[in-house]
Amino acid sequence: MGNKSRSESRRVPALPPEHFLNRELQALAFNQRVLAQAEERATPVLERLRFLCIVSSNLDEFFEIRVAGVKEQLKLGAAAADADGLAPREIFARVTEVAHALVDRQYALLNDEVLPALAKAGIRFLRRGEWTAAQQEWVREYFFREMMPVLTPIGLDPAHPFPRVFNKSLNFAVALEGRDAFGRDSRAAIVQAPRVLPRVIRVPRAVAGGEHDFIFLTSILHAHVGELFAGMNVLGCHQFRVTRNSDLFVEEEEVKDLRKALQGELPQRHLGDAVRLEVDDTMGAEMVAFLLEQLGLAEPDLYRVNGPVNLVRLMSVPDQVDRPELKFRPFSPGLPKAVARSKDIFETLRRGDVLLHRPFQSFAPVIDFVREASRDPQVVAIKQTVYRTGTDSVIMQTLIDAARQGKEVTVVVELMARFDEEANINWAARLEEVGAHVVYGVVGHKTHAKMAMVVRREEGRLVRYVHLGTGNYHPRTARLYTDFDLLTSRPDICADVNEVFQQLTGLGKATKLRLVWQSPFTMHARVIEAIDAETRNARAGKPAAIAAKMNALLEPAVIEALYRASQAGVKVDLLVRGVCALRPGVPGLSERIRVRSVVGRFLEHTRIFRFANAGEERVWLSSADWMDRNFFRRIELAFPVTDPKLAQRVVREGLRPYLEDNTQTWEMRPDGTYERRKRGRGKRRCAQAELMAKLATP
């Protein structure tokens, strides 16, 4: 595609590789910072457990996508692909070393601190050697009632080769001795635990020693695995788990029906090439070697763990335990005064823009915006993009209701939203059933922009109202991620959003937008122009400063522009939650750049760009990080906050508290490592806690 190739030609870095950090290593560094939250003893113990689970979930995706990609490069003999100049072999070696150390640290924390602290609080995971006679009887009954009917042991012999083990499924390798009913002398079998079985089972109060006693599914199977192999001796039973390449490949330009093609590919996600093998640390060398051989893996791909091979399944425990004192304090999201006093969202927006800062403020006004539109007889059309929205979404159901009531409903559903493909396919089908217009965006470009538009007939003319956001229309993440939402009726912004919808649903040349920056057409150039303007202002002695907040910073041309700004004397403050390829504080290169990462109770997801602009400050919110994919392979928007009071709110709430945070902030060193910011003698500052106190309802 012409536009894409021209953009990519601009991305060849002019600076040497040592000026850039490696993406994969930076991703692991982020998970080290998340693990530090679990290590923090001041964190409530059930939240420490939750952070441990989050690390495991993050690592799963890291192996499924990033490590799988490195392995593909190794297989193809590819040379260095990124600006850091590291060859795939070197990346894999470094990643393996860091990942093994991270996993060892994670399980040591689980066993040495978190589980004992939970036990002290009366939340116990009962080991087989601790079971009372009553508990043993309950476990036996549970096994025969709930597990035995759905378990399928697979003996390994010439008629039963090694099974295709599903991605991230729980499995058991069983060593056997003896002959079965047919005289077969099979020395090994595989038992796959169906996904319908819970991995952590709560023990009934009648037989439990305490109110919150749990038993791992693995313990129950270990205790009764012999029942699956009558007349044979079980010499050993060990859990294992395989992580596979889960990056779906669909040649979008070659398929006639993307949805149908994706539906055909989704089942294959569970059976991609193996990239990691996790086993319990008691598994013998012979069985380990056998599994590695069957999976086509080598010793570096092996992760021995002292505990459950899938800590993600422990995520359910905090929700099962009603102990508020062992969790973060609950809070009720607040509402801006303009919304709290209003009974008509459209009347409110005619008076002025509304800015929401979630999760400290409620996501409800965004839901109400769509709900009121679906019910209002004066509304003639609703258009919305969907990237991630979940399987249970009030907004999606409201759009379905609006279509049933005769509204013109158009939904741009991104079918290639990783790990949400199935949910989005299902929503697309339901929308089409009720007559909504469903489109899948643009081939080769994911629609990542978060926007909704309502068209309403008022006094004989059509008036537009728009929602723009930095985060998804997802009810669960709205409570867990920090994001900004802007609701507006400004004609210029509404016209820009309408133009983007026209591009997504129709055909034609991209026209020039009035205020909004858009990927893949203008955003990359506009960001660099804004950075370069600060560089010129600094050299001219005018006010110059850049403050930006995002999830990731990787795009080489933007990094080079930031280096130039620093060398010109521009103060650059970057809040980058996750991966960052820029090296801050390097003499002669980036002395005036500081990179901070804030990791706390909520996932920092907001994207904010602030430019001093010679004293006429400009503030932008965006759905896009400063990454290649966001600039060149996605439909993204960055929109200005034009109301001066709201722009100051964004700075006051989205930037300043985080730059002053001395509790949950990590500062990046020039070598890419991070150091936790020390409070010193100053006042304790915690951005997320301050925002809760300021914006949430007491």
Residues marked as catalytic: 448
Encoded tokens for 546: 């850049």
Closest CA to 516 of 499, 493, 532: 493
CA distance 126 to 333: 38
CA distance 659 to 573: 8
Encoded tokens for 123: 């939340």
Beta strands in 536-592 (DSSP E): 545-550, 571-576
Q: How many residues are listed for the chain in this entry?
A: 698
CA distance 310 to 167: 12
| 522 Cβ contact list (under 8 Å, min separation 6) | 513
CA distance 695 to 698: 9
Encoded tokens for 423: 């949910």
If you write DSSP's letter for every residue of 621-672 in order, what string do you get?
EES--BSHHHHHSEEEEEEE--SHHHHHHIIIIIIHHHHH--SSEEEE-TTS
Enclosing H/E stretch for 213 = strand 212-216
Place of tokens 């806690």: 689
Which amino acid appears at position 386 of this protein?
A: V
Enclosing H/E stretch for 9 = helix 2-9
CA count, 13 A, side-chain hemisphere, 54: 22
Place of tokens 């089409």: 432
| 487 Cβ contact list (under 8 Å, min separation 6) | 345, 349, 353, 354, 355, 356, 365, 366, 369, 465, 466, 467
CA distance 343 to 274: 55
CA distance 408 to 382: 6
Helix%, strand%, coil% for the chain, nearest 5: 40, 25, 35
